[in-house]
Amino acid sequence: MVRLTHTVKSSGCAAKLPVATLNEVLSSIPLMEDDRLVVGFETSDDALAYDIGGGRLMIQSVDFFPPVADDPYDYGQIACANALSDLYAMGAEPACAMNMMCFPSCMELDVMKQILLGAQDKAAEAGCVIAGGHTIADSTIKFGLAVTGFTTKDRLWTNKGAKEGDVLVITKKLGAGIINTAIKAEMADEESAAAVLASMKTLNRRAFECASSLDVHAATDITGFSLLGHLHEMAAASGLTVVIDSSSVPVFDKALEYASFGLIPEGAYNNREYLESRVEISQSVRQNLEDVLYDPQTSGPLALAMEESEAEKFISAFGNDARIIARFTKREAKPVII
């Protein structure tokens, strides 16, 4: 069977448009107003929040991308986990979804079937139902989902609620984009490739559940705009500066080594170009670690801002790779300091 990642130029969330390009267009479009729209795109949140009455909110998002795994079933699972992560980052339970598929007319139909089955099985794991979708013929595969979930007004998480003194916890390792680039170049070892694949297929459901009983002030998930890009959005929306302890950032084994070899996805360069003027980086931070901090992630970790005592409760409950990597301070010259 064809290796899916070899049929496309860019993979996963690394295929996103550059932030500067996207912002140029979005900033020229007037916001649509509705009294029931609680959260739109003006604060770069992960999904929209719409008031459906009775204190309940409908949360909606959409995400799709070219193959980030060679196996179509794995690709479907990752695409679904990535899309559902936007709901978890808003404090919402997934409920239903619809597929979006661009598919080459010359490719074996079993590839499409396996992608859809992978997404369906991952959605079922999340307690979410997929009911239909839309397909078009295209020269390259692209797949994702439009997802809907629900929460209540008092449990909604957004980008902008971080408070001075809060710490930031992330729940997965970083460097997936770099290792995926190494995989595509056939330079990644099997252990590293397997670790990244397992992480991308892992739902952020458990992280959401462990945090649901805690006082989370702000949240997002780390995807195509990198750790620095998404934390910049959170700090800017909250009117604060986030100070990152680079030594605390969890990184996949071999990601730093592969970064030193120059195995950097194009999206990382786009992220760096947009963010460099907004980020202050200590000279002690190594270049390859900088590359990881700018690296686009696919189905990456949740990032949760909360008081340190609440963060310690979360880490105790969640375990695994969760750790405190940053602290929010009063606004300084730049919104992100490393």
Domain boundary among 120, 155, 190: 155
Q: What is the mean pLDDT of the segment spanning 14-37?
A: 84
CATH of the domain at 120: 3.30.1330.10
Tens digit of each residue's pLDDT (9 = 90 or more) over 167-187: 999 999 999 999 999 999 999
Rounded to whole angstroms, the Cα distance separating 256 from 209 reads 31
Task: For residue 46, give both structure tokens.
Answer: 């992960």
Cα 104 off chain centre by: 27
Q: Are strands 302-306 and 167-170 parallel, antiparallel or unpaired?
A: antiparallel
**204 and 306 share one domain:** yes
**140 and 261 share one domain:** no
> What per-residue string of b and e applies to 273-284 under the rule 16 or more CB within 10 Å gives b?
ebbeeebebeee
DSSP secondary structure code for residue 299 in this structure: S
Q: 297 with 174: CB under 8 angstroms?
A: yes
Lowest mean pLDDT across 52-61, 182-191, 193-202 = 182-191
**13 and 76 share one domain:** yes
The total of structural domains in the chain comes to: 2
**185 and 328 share one domain:** yes
The model's pTM = 0.95
Which positions are catalytic? Answer: 13
Q: What is the mean pLDDT of the segment spanning 271-298?
A: 96
Domain boundary among 155, 185, 205: 155
Q: Are strands 93-103 and 129-137 parallel, antiparallel or unpaired?
A: parallel
Residue 320: the pLDDT is 73
**11 and 150 share one domain:** yes
Residue 243: the pLDDT is 98
**73 and 164 share one domain:** no
∠ at Cα 92 (85, 203), nearest 5°?
A: 30
**151 and 167 share one domain:** no
pLDDT averaged over every residue in the chain: 94
Rounded to whole angstroms, the Cα distance separating 16 from 13 reads 6
Rounded to whole angstroms, the Cα distance separating 10 from 160 reads 31
Rounded to whole angstroms, the Cα distance separating 238 from 230 reads 12
Handedness of CA 42, 47, 48, 53 (dihedral sign): negative
**125 and 167 share one domain:** no
Rounded to whole angstroms, the Cα distance separating 135 from 176 reads 28
**180 and 295 share one domain:** yes
Question: CB atoms < 10 A from the CB of 90, how many?
Answer: 28
Residue 227: the pLDDT is 97
Domain assignment of residue 199, given as a range: 159-337
**239 and 107 share one domain:** no
Going by C-beta distance under 8 Å and a sequence separation of 6 or more, which residues neighbour residue 274? 18, 19, 20, 229
Tens digit of each residue's pLDDT (9 = 90 or more) over 207-239: 999 999 999 999 999 999 999 999 999 999 999
Judge whether residue 119 has pLDDT over 80: yes
**204 and 140 share one domain:** no
Quick one: which H or E segment has residue 207? helix 205-211
Domain boundary among 155, 172, 199: 155
Q: 323 with 315: CB under 8 angstroms?
A: yes
Lowest mean pLDDT across 120-124, 237-241, 311-315, 320-324 = 320-324
Quickly state the pLDDT bin for 298 (edges 50, 70, 90): very high
Quick one: which H or E segment has residue 177? helix 176-184
CATH of the domain at 301: 3.90.650.10
Quickly state the pLDDT bin for 116 (edges 50, 70, 90): very high
**113 and 244 share one domain:** no
Quickly state the pLDDT bin for 42 (edges 50, 70, 90): confident
Going by C-beta distance under 8 Å and a sequence separation of 6 or more, which residues neighbour residue 226? 267, 268, 271, 275, 293, 294, 295, 296, 297
